[in-house]
Structure 1
Amino acid sequence: MDDQNKNLLIATGLSFVVILIWFLLFPPPEDTAVEQPEPAATAPVAGDTAATPGTAPGATAETGTAPAQAQAADAPRLPIDTARLSGSISLMGGRIDELKLKDYTVTPDPSSGNVQVLEPVGSGHAYYALYGWAPGAGLGLSDVPGANTEWRVESGETLSADSPVTLRWDSPAGLIFRRTLAVDEDFMFTVTQSVENAGSGSVSAAPYGILARHGEPVDRKKFFVLHEGVVAMADGKLNEIDYSDMPDLDMMQSEGARAEVSQVAENGWIGFTDHYWMTTLIPAPGSAFKQVAKYDDGRDIYQTEAVLPTMSLAPGDSQEVTTQLFAGAKEWETIREYEDQGVDRFIDSIDWGWFFFLTKPIFWLLHHLHQLIGNMGWSIIALTLILKALLFPLAFKSYVSMAKMKELQPEMEKLKERAGDDRQKMQQEMMALYKREKVNPASGCLPILLQIPIFFSLYKVIFVAFELRQAPWFGPFQDLSTPDPTSLFNLFGALPWAAPEPGTTLALVFIGILPLLLGISMYLQQKLNPAPTDATQAMVFAWMPWVFMFMLGGFASGLVLYWITNNTITFTQQYLIMRSQGYKPDVFGNIKSSFKRKAKQADAAKSDKK
């Protein structure tokens, strides 16, 4: 086995093993709709957030019962209407529990309806934001607003970008609670909670915000490469907890409920992130608060809380606190603008992964290319050209080394003949030859190895970044974040029936046009060099392009497009550079040789049978 083929085999084998293990261990499962129970959130109790963190169950809303659900469904509502949002606020609890995104539909088909981020109790998959005050000294649960409080509208008719609304509730204890809600032109709500003590005694209470989700999201991907669940920032430290990990949280709050609690000194936020959507509680910058991730096993509620410090009010005093709520799409530019406005490290709410030092700049470049070109498919191709240009000095050195190795092949064969069975002598003489000719046999596989983290980083970007969702290229390729929609089953769209569903056995058998081009590009790249003389090596190399074709065929079509482009550029670079060094690759001759070798092998097999 010559060193060039050995290096290529090792690099290709490593790539194959990494992707095979990943593909087999973490396949995207089929989505299953599960009916969830409809209990309500559990409110925290007041406490000194500067002390050792800890919470306990407080007032439990009774919207888990059928009558209470009916009551919640019949409660008056206040409309939400902006250029990008529609929905409503339930006056029962004053909760923001109905929110749709006007700019985005469930599928590329406009008739599929707008994406719904928040849903009210009784809808089947309740998900809402709830605000209130946890009672402290001098107050009971009935003296503070909770999940079932019936608020009244004090001002405003519709919550819009230029028209805030104010809700009011008068407590039996003589307290006047107000909640003013405002929203900007994108996805950020501003919630101002105030309390006025019109009673005769001193009291204390702690304002809080809750995000409650009843059951897991219906469209959860459950894929290793994607984080879905709690995402939180606490004084510069990012914390992520998957939905599947929440039942194993350390702190037991009560029977059936577990929590993770941390104290934020100055800057932080907490919420839930899905594939493309997110809701986040954001206290004001510089504010201390208690950050809680909670799971109620008995009622199957996922919950995050932001509990602010307890406030004391003497008779006649008033207090107010302002927080924010993000509820919408994980658009990079929008989130970056909120970070610029003071939300600490908000851009890290996007799941950049382990290779964040690669995924962030790759996405930045792809984003700006898309702005310039206006088409995501061509932007991916342009990105690949730029990445290959950056790696060109290393590739040039590698291909020059490979060309020199080819020139040295006859002399290496003579060394092997002279050394005979003395492997140590052969290795010594080969090393001396490499040194004399200034050839590094290891440099041939280095660019291939460097492409592995770049490949995974780009896959992460294409899979996670919102900007790839429903991004069209041309013709049938109208969503580059999904697998190739074409298929041999319908002659790549020429016949009047649909291609097999992605992920099915038929989809693997009747391969799409992009995976087919991927296999061809890998095959041609391989034929730049003659097939190894060793029969086992030759067989491995012969099968490798087509194995990769079927393995990668179910990946996002944007990623397959990158891989095809990368292979094509690599083939061109290697061909031209090796010719410039005096070695002329005979691609078509190598293809013919491979067929002749197969014919000879078939004849030999027939002879053996006779």
Structure 2
Amino acid sequence: MDDQNKNLILATALSFLVILGWYSFFPPPEPEPAPETVANETAPAGDTAAAPGAAQPDTAVSTQPSEEAQAPDAPRLTIDTPRLAGSISLQGGRIDDLALKDYHVELAEDSDIVRVLSPVGEDNAFYALYGWAPGTGLGFDDVPGANTVWSADEGQVLTPDSPVTLTWDNGKGLTFTRTVAVDEDYLFSVTQSVQNATGATVALAPYGTLARHGEPANLKNFFILHEGVVGMADGELAEIDYGDMADFDPDPRDGSRAEVKQVESNGWLGFTDHYWMSTLIPEPGQGFRSIAKYDERREIYQTDVVLPTATLADGESSEVTTMLFSGAKEWATIRGYQKDGIEGFLDSIDWGWFFFLTKPIFAVLHWLHAMIGNMGWSIIGLTIFIKILVFPLAYKSYASMAKMKELQPQMEKLKERAGDDRQKLQKEMMELYKKEKVNPAAGCLPILIQIPIFFSLYKVIFVTLELRHAAFFGPFQDLSAPDPTSLMNLFGLLPFSGPEPGTIFATVFIGILPILLGVSMWLQQKLNPAPTDPTQKMIFAWMPWVFMFMLGGFASGLVVYWIANNTITFTQQYLIMRSHGYKPDVFGNIKSSMKRAPKTEDK
């Protein structure tokens, strides 16, 4: 076996094993549930709105939890923006009903729109609650709680141009006001103020809470994707899975478990799902106490931000503004909020281990999509861009392979002279490589470079919202999902979908894109004659078709990338090898590979 074939088989085997391992440990996600089970895709439901605890270690704010949040039956204020629909309950002043006008649960335009927040009493309740934790001179009856009914002028509607105002008087000299505003996208601003007319000094701490009843109904539990608590604390990103919250330190007050951090100046905290997120965001530069909490008795997941305690003499007032993001994890929108001062907000998107590749790859893909308007063609454009970027290495590699082909006659002579002396053969081959300035390992470089790029692009296609329900052409209307065509629907000609992803039928009856992938890999092999070694020949013969079936369940956008990459690689390699004097006989190699090996007679 010559060194060129050894390197080629090593590189392809390495690529195969890495991708096979990736596929084994990180299988493609399960298909989204039917509309009736996913209508509340990120719609959570009611929880115990426990007071978050002391605002600062050195304050006298009470740590006693408040009463459990009850299902709201009070009047509501409508939320109506270009991108959001929902309402605010006057019971607790909760933002607990929110849906995204731009996103549907399924591809069909008449399917339900995605809900990100839901009130107590519904399945998987999830809501935002604001309030004040009582300190010196106050009890829980003196501050608004989870079930306090606020007052508001009738007919108020929350829009980007019209904030809404809620008020509550405790009847003992404290008047609380809450003003809620919202922008054109997904960012709420909540301004809380209190006026002290009690005739005495009081202390209290403003807080915000996100409370979630149970894990989300559509939790993916997919290793490549983070779902759960996400937060930033003074430049340090924290990602905590739901299952890991049970390992927090126990709270002796109520048996819950909590992780507490003191943030000095910049941060945010909340929950992230696959495509949607809700986070509490104090103003930039504002220190706060960050709390992630799990109440096992009621299976409540909760995040709190507690701001510094305000000590008010009689006649004084205090006001604080915090923000709430609740919506889709759109790259451009979140990037805009980060530019406006929310530190590290773009890291709320799960970029993964190869973030140094994933971020720029997506930035280029986003730019191409803005220019082209079609995500499938944008992926092909991205492939061309990447191939141009790594062309110098590819050129060196293919030139080296062409040179190796030219040296083949000399290498055969060396083998004849060396006979069974392997050491002599290796020494003379190395001298030949040195004399002719050939690096036999150069052929591995394109494949080795391709592996992290492949993983990064897979992360981009699976995680980023922009690929969800992104169309290419014809039957390929969701590039984040596997190829929907198969022999069962005549590859998209019949008006019904193929086998359900993840089933044995989907594995066997693969679609058009996986077949094109296998063919493109097979043609790429035919640039060189089949190896004479029977083992190598068998591996080469099976590899394209193994990849074809293995990648058939991956996101179709990734398969589009792989097909484009193989096609461009074939063209590059063919032209570069011809320019260096070696003319690949593609059709001859195909013809010879079809011939059956002659039978050997027993002697």
Shared fold per TM-score greater than 0.5:
yes
- 2:271 aligned partner: 272
Secondary structure in structure 2 of the residue aligned to 1:434:
helix
Deviation at 1:47, TM superposition (A): 3.3
Cα offsets for 1:2-31 (capped at 9, x unmatched): 222211221221222122122112323566
What runs of 5+ residues in structure 1 fail to find an aligned partner?
64-68
Deviation at 1:303, TM superposition (A): 1.0
Q: Between 207-216 and 493-502, report the one with greater CA deviation.
A: 493-502
Amino acid in the other structure paired with 2:285: G
Deviation at 1:200, TM superposition (A): 2.0
Secondary structure in structure 2 of the residue aligned to 1:111:
coil
**Aligned 1:85-104 pairs, distance under 5 A:** 85-104=84-103
**Aligned 1:465-480 pairs, distance under 5 A:** 465-480=464-479
- 2:131 aligned partner: 132
Distance in 2, matches of 1:293 and 1:60, equals 19
**Aligned 1:361-440 pairs, distance under 5 A:** 361-440=360-439
Q: What is the number of residues matched between the two proteins?
A: 595
Distance in 1, matches of 2:514 and 2:493, equals 18
Matched, 1:584 2:591: no
Cα offsets for 1:377-409 (capped at 9, x unmatched): 111111111110111111111000001111111
Distance 1:412 1:60, change over 3 A: farther
Deviation at 1:86, TM superposition (A): 0.6
Is the 2:47–2:125 contact (alpha carbons within 8 Å) kept by the matching residues of 1?
Answer: no
Matched, 1:318 2:325: no
Distance in 1, matches of 2:459 and 2:547, equals 19
Deviation at 1:212, TM superposition (A): 0.9
Q: Between 528-537 and 188-197, report the one with greater CA deviation.
A: 528-537
Match of 2:52 among 34, 44, 65: 44
Is the 1:50–1:309 contact (alpha carbons within 8 Å) kept by the matching residues of 2?
Answer: no
Amino acid in the other structure paired with 2:24: L
Distance 1:411 1:281, change over 3 A: same
Distance 1:39 1:269, change over 3 A: closer
Distance in 2, matches of 1:50 and 1:368, equals 50
Cα offsets for 1:214-236 (capped at 9, x unmatched): 11112222111111111111111
Match of 2:68 among 61, 69, 76: 61
Deviation at 1:589, TM superposition (A): 1.4
Matched, 1:561 2:560: yes
Secondary structure in structure 2 of the residue aligned to 1:475:
coil
Distance in 1, matches of 2:397 and 2:21, equals 28
Is the 1:155–1:165 contact (alpha carbons within 8 Å) kept by the matching residues of 2?
Answer: no
Secondary structure in structure 2 of the residue aligned to 1:110:
coil
Identity value in percent: 68
Is the 1:49–1:290 contact (alpha carbons within 8 Å) kept by the matching residues of 2?
Answer: no
Is the 1:477–1:484 contact (alpha carbons within 8 Å) kept by the matching residues of 2?
Answer: yes
Deviation at 1:563, TM superposition (A): 0.4
- 1:219 aligned partner: 218
Normalising to structure 1: TM-score of the pair? 0.94
Cα offsets for 1:311-358 (capped at 9, x unmatched): 111111110100000111111111111111111121111111111111
Cα offsets for 1:429-470 (capped at 9, x unmatched): 111000000000011111110011111111111111111111
Amino acid in the other structure paired with 1:415: L
Cα offsets for 1:485-540 (capped at 9, x unmatched): 11122210223443101111101110100000001101111111111111111111
**Aligned 1:241-280 pairs, distance under 5 A:** 241-250=240-249, 252=251, 254=253, 256-280=255-279
Distance in 2, matches of 1:226 and 1:49, equals 35
What value does the CA root-mean-square deviation take over the aligned residues? 2.1
Distance in 2, matches of 1:588 and 1:503, equals 37
Distance 1:229 1:50, change over 3 A: farther
- 1:600 aligned partner: 597
Is the 1:56–1:253 contact (alpha carbons within 8 Å) kept by the matching residues of 2?
Answer: no
Deviation at 1:249, TM superposition (A): 2.4
Distance in 1, matches of 2:508 and 2:110, equals 31
Is the 1:135–1:143 contact (alpha carbons within 8 Å) kept by the matching residues of 2?
Answer: yes
Distance 1:253 1:375, change over 3 A: farther
Distance in 2, matches of 1:436 and 1:266, equals 63
Distance in 1, matches of 2:248 and 2:594, equals 60
Is the 1:225–1:460 contact (alpha carbons within 8 Å) kept by the matching residues of 2?
Answer: yes
- 1:332 aligned partner: 331
Distance in 1, matches of 2:297 and 2:13, equals 48
Is the 2:461–2:467 contact (alpha carbons within 8 Å) kept by the matching residues of 1?
Answer: yes
Distance in 2, matches of 1:62 and 1:229, equals 22
Deviation at 1:167, TM superposition (A): 0.6
Distance in 1, matches of 2:184 and 2:45, equals 34
Is the 1:59–1:146 contact (alpha carbons within 8 Å) kept by the matching residues of 2?
Answer: yes
Normalising to structure 2: TM-score of the pair? 0.95
Distance in 2, matches of 1:156 and 1:180, equals 15
- 1:116 aligned partner: 115
Deviation at 1:252, TM superposition (A): 4.1
Distance in 1, matches of 2:172 and 2:592, equals 92
Is the 2:59–2:309 contact (alpha carbons within 8 Å) kept by the matching residues of 1?
Answer: no
Secondary structure in structure 1 of the residue aligned to 2:157:
coil
Distance in 1, matches of 2:494 and 2:338, equals 50
- 1:523 aligned partner: 522
